[in-house]
């Protein structure tokens, strides 16, 4: 039985990884030096896949933490230390942990060998995180520098307003660690790394990750469909016309098209069928999401769905009854932070093309 060659929804690696040759070379060059890296792109553009593609080729320890899932500085310290235990030998770490200013509670699952770590809440929790961060530096050396990846780093300011300042005060002295900061909210990440008053001002090389070039994606899709369809060019182009080369939604759509063709390679329009199927699958989720929007958000999303005008024009405001520009900007900011709208090349667009199609269909009914 043939295996579907497309993958979405998790880290993409191996044969599922699409091109990014220039980006791979750039990331590898930066983290092979003593410098740090900041990668910005909308959600689901493949930041994590790119970083782990590069780090998998290097014989170096990698510690990765998604700050979206962190609730406090104590939690930050515990989750980071948990990942240190996954990389380094227990005995080696224990020597250092014994000298922490606040000793964590550590337990080991006898079946999975997974470590569970907690720090008790304290009036001043930062020493916990400082000790864990400095532990990573102590475990590293010039020949085998540790790579620490902080995903969705803009969330640091939500964890604690002073966290970025406190983090910088510690990690600026680390000589044997490369830090990689990933962020999906461009304005917030740029404020952290590009604003002169920010503690992390110009802390590393900033890299904007865009969509995969259309020709590269066409070649990748064609390779996936070569054994299942005689109409490779048309199918590959049709997918990219709809997904606009968005890495995640292209893979998702290609996966469904491949499934359709594997069952019937004579189907009239696998592109249209895949769109209908994905919209139908997510119908209840989209309806729940839609009902949570306020009236301005709904008007703005409808405007972006049915109009090619920029949402910042006076004509756009009038046509969709959006009111004052400040109201539109507030809505845009809110929808961008929650990932429903993305901005690329000074153009605003709905991130999920299937959600956009759902809005079109509901409006037409």
As beta bridge partners, residue 108 has 115
pLDDT tens digits for 91-144? 889 889 999 999 998 888 877 778 889 998 877 899 999 999 999 999 999 889
CB environment 87-102: b (16+ within 10 A), e (fewer): ebeeeebeebbeebee
Q: Are 212 and 19 in contact (CB under 8 A)?
A: yes
Residue 171's pLDDT is 97
Q: Given a cut of 80, is residue 269 above it in pLDDT?
A: yes
pLDDT for res 2: 79
Mean pLDDT of the chain: 91
d(CA 50, CA 39): 10
Q: What is the pLDDT of residue 350?
A: 93
pLDDT (average), residues 297-326? 86
pTM to 2 decimal places: 0.86
Confidence band, pLDDT 50/70/90 cuts, at residue 318: confident
């Amino acid at each position: 039985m043939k295996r579907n060659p497309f993958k979405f929804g998790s880290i993409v690696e191996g044969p599922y990884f699409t091109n990014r040759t220039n980006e791979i070379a750039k990331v590898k060059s930066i983290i092979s030096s003593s410098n740090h890296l900041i990668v910005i792109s909308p959600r689901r553009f493949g930041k994590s896949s790119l970083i782990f593609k590069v780090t998998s080729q290097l014989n170096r320890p990698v510690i990765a933490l998604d700050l979206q899932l962190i609730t406090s500085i104590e939690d930050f310290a515990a989750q980071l230390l948990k990942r240190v235990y996954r990389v380094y030998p227990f005995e080696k770490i224990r020597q250092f942990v014994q000298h922490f200013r606040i000793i964590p509670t550590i337990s080991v699952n006898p079946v999975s060998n997974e470590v569970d770590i907690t720090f008790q809440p304290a009036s001043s929790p930062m020493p916990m995180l400082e000790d864990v961060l400095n532990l990573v530096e102590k475990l590293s050396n010039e020949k085998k520098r540790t790579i620490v990846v902080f995903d969705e780093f803009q969330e640091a300011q939500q964890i604690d307003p002073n966290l970025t300042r406190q983090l910088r005060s510690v990690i600026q002295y680390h000589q044997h660690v490369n830090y990689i900061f990933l962020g999906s909210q461009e304005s917030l990440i740029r404020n952290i790394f590009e604003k002169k008053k920010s503690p992390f001002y110009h802390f590393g090389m900033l890299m904007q990750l865009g969509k995969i070039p259309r020709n590269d994606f066409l070649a990748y899709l064609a390779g996936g469909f070569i054994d299942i369809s005689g109409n490779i060019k048309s199918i590959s182009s049709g997918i990219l016309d709809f997904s606009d080369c968005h890495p995640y939604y292209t893979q998702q759509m290609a996966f469904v098209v491949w499934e359709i063709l594997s069952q019937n390679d004579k189907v009239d329009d696998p592109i249209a069928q895949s769109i209908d199927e994905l919209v139908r699958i997510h119908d209840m989720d989209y309806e729940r999401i839609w009902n949570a929007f306020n009236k301005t958000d709904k008007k703005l999303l409808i405007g972006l769905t049915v109009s090619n005008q920029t949402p910042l024009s006076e004509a756009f405001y009038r046509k969709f009854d959006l009111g004052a520009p400040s109201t539109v900007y507030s809505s845009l900011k809110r929808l961008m932070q929650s990932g429903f709208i993305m901005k690329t090349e000074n153009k605003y667009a709905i991130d999920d093309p299937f959600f956009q199609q759902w809005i079109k269909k509901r409006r037409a009914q």
